[in-house]
Chain A
Amino acid sequence: MAEEEVKLFGTWGSPFSRRIEVALKLKGVQYEYIEEDLTNKSPALLNYNPVNKQIPVLVHNGKPVAESFVIMEYIDETWKHNPILPADPYERAMARFWAKYIDEKFWPAAKKTVVAKGEEQKGAIDEIQQQMKNLEGELKEKKFFGGESLGFLDIAANIIIWLVVAQEALGMDQILNEEKLPVLHGWLHRLLDDAVFKECVPPKERHLDFFKVKFGSSIASK
C-alpha cells in the first residue's frame, strides 16, 4: 500500500480545526499537525488555501481540502471504516441540516450572547436557548447524535463547548444548564468523557484565559 501523507493546518483554539482532529482520530488516520499563527500565516497555508486563507486545511498526498464540513465529508469518503455519517440518505440529510444550522444560526448567536449588551444580549440568549431546544429534538433519547458512537453532528456541535467555556470565563450564568436543557447537558458530558473527543478540545485553563483576555472588557453588567 502506498504511503499516505496527511497534514492538518489548524490552531489550538479553533473549533473548526478541532473538528478535523476528531474525525482523523476516530478513523485512526496518522497525520502531521501544523499549528498556525493567524497573525502571521505560513506561506504553506496561503499556498494551500489561497481563496480564504483560513484554517483548517487538510492536505492529503499534497492535495489540499478546505472548509471544515467539506473536509469531514472528504475524510469519511476516503477512509471508509468507522463511518462518521450514517448510511441512510435521510439520516445523512438530517446530520448535514443540523450541522449547517449550528454554523449558520447557532454560532453567530452564541457570539452575540458574549459580546452584546442589554436587550440585544438578552435576545441572543433567548435565541440560543430555543436553538439548543431544537437540537435536543434531534438528539432525543440517543447517547450521541450519531447514535451509540460519535457522528458528524456530534463533531459539528463541538462548538457548543466554546460557548460554555466563554461563559465560564466571563462569570456568566450557563445557558446550557441541567435544569433548562437536560438532554443536551447530558450529551455534553458524555461528549467530554469520550476517549477520542476529549483529546481534541483546547486545554481548559488556557481556553479560559483566552476568553478572559478577549472578552473581559465587554462583560455586561449584571
Chain B
Amino acid sequence: MAEENKVKLHGMWASPYVKRVEIALKIKGIPYELVEEDLVNKSQLLLQYNPVHKKVPVLIHNGKSICESLVILEYIDETWKNGPPLLPQDPYKRAKVRFWTSFVEKELLENVLLVVRSEGEAQEKAIKVVFEKLNLLEEGLKDLFQGETHHIDGENMGILDIFLCSLFGAHKAQEEVLGVKFIDPEKFPLLSSWLTASTEVAVVKALQPSHEKLVMVYQFLRQKALQPSAAEVEVKEGVYVSSLSRSSAF
C-alpha cells in the first residue's frame, strides 16, 4: 500500500470554517497535523500557502495548498475514496446537497453574522431574514430527506451535515449572546432534530469547543463589530484572542 503523503491543516480553534475540514478529515480517518495560527500574527507559511485570501483553513497535501473550506471538502472526498463519502453518488442528489450547502453558507451564515455584528433596528431586520432563511431550509429538508428519517452517525456525515453543524453547533452560545433562539424545535422540527443528531456524532462532539469558549467567541465578535475605535480593537484583539487560546484546552 502506498504511503499517504503527510496532510497538514493550518487552522484556528475558534473558526467554524476550519472545524468543517477537521470533521471531514476525521470522518475519512485521515491523519493530519494541525498548525494553530495566531490570526493577529499570521505565520509566513500561511501567507505563502494562501496569498490570495490569507485565511484559514488551508490544507497542505503533497506539498500543495488548497484553500476555501468547501473546495477543501470536495478535494478530500475526491482524493480519499476509501473512507465514507461526503457526497451522495447520484448527480441529482449531489446537486441538491451542493445547492443547500451553498445556501447555508451564503444565505444563513452571512445573515447570522449580520445579527452578531449589528444592534437595534438593523439587528431586528437581520434576525427576521435569518428566520425567513431557516423557514426555507426547513422546507428544503422535507424535499431533501423525502419522508425518510435522515440517520446520521460517524459513517454517513456529508458536506451539508458538516456545514450545518459548523454554523449552528454553537446555537446555544448564539442564543445566550444574542438573546435569540434560532434553532426552535417547534418552528423547525426537521432542522432541530437533524442538528441534534449531527452534534451528537462522536467526531463532532470531540471537536466542539466548550459552551463557555463559544460564548466568549461570539461576545468578542460582537464587541469587535460594535466597537468604535479600530486601534483599540486591534490591541484588544491580540490580547483577547491570545487569552482565549491559552485558556483551558478542550
Q: Residues of A with Cβ closer than 8 Å to B?
A: 50-52, 60, 63, 65-67, 69-71, 73-74, 77-78, 89-90, 92-93, 96-97, 100-101, 134
Is A77 a contact of B91 with CB atoms below 8 Å?
A: yes
A contact face: mostly helix, strand, loop, or mixed: helix
Is A93 a contact of B75 with CB atoms below 8 Å?
A: yes
B180 close to A (CB within 8 Å): no
B79 close to A (CB within 8 Å): yes
Contacting B94 at CB < 8 Å: which of A60, A74, A92, A97?
A74
Given contacts A67-B102, A70-B99, contact A100 B94 (CB under 8 A): no
Is A96 a contact of B74 with CB atoms below 8 Å?
A: yes
Interface 0/1 of B114-128, CB less than 8 Å to A: 000000000000000
Q: Residues of B with Cβ closer than 8 Å to A?
A: 52, 61-62, 64, 66-68, 70-72, 74-75, 78-79, 91-92, 94-95, 98-99, 102-103, 107, 136, 139-140
Residues of B contacting A92 with CB < 8 Å?
Answer: 74-75, 78
Residues of A contacting B52 with CB < 8 Å?
Answer: 101, 134
Residues of B contacting A74 with CB < 8 Å?
Answer: 91-92, 94-95
Which residue of chain A has its CB nearest to the CB of B100?
A51
Residues of B contacting A71 with CB < 8 Å?
Answer: 95
Residues of B contacting A93 with CB < 8 Å?
Answer: 66, 71-72, 74-75
Residues of B contacting A63 with CB < 8 Å?
Answer: 92
Residues of A contacting B78 with CB < 8 Å?
Answer: 89, 92
Which residue of chain A has its CB nearest to the CB of B62?
A90
Which residue of chain A has its CB nearest to the CB of B80?
A89
Q: How far is the CA of A73 from the CA of B102 in the complex (A)?
A: 13
Query: Closest CB of chain B to A24's CB: distance in Å?
Result: 15
Contacting A65 at CB < 8 Å: which of B75, B99, B103?
B99
Residues of A contacting B107 with CB < 8 Å?
Answer: 52
Is B94 a contact of A89 with CB atoms below 8 Å?
A: no
Is A66 a contact of B99 with CB atoms below 8 Å?
A: yes
Is B91 a contact of A97 with CB atoms below 8 Å?
A: no
Query: Closest CB of chain B to A138's CB: distance in Å?
Result: 10
Is B71 a contact of A51 with CB atoms below 8 Å?
A: no
Please give 4 more A-B residue pairs, beta carbons under 8 A apart, in addition to A51-B99, A65-B92: A74-B95, A92-B78, A100-B70, A100-B71
Query: Closest CB of chain B to A29's CB: distance in Å?
Result: 13
Q: Sort A-B residue pairs by CB-CB distance and give the 9 closest, nearest first.
A: A77-B91, A89-B78, A74-B95, A93-B75, A70-B98, A65-B95, A89-B79, A96-B71, A93-B66
Could you list 13 examples of A-B contacts with CB < 8 Å?
Answer: A51-B140, A60-B92, A63-B92, A66-B99, A67-B99, A69-B98, A70-B95, A73-B94, A73-B98, A74-B92, A89-B79, A90-B75, A96-B74
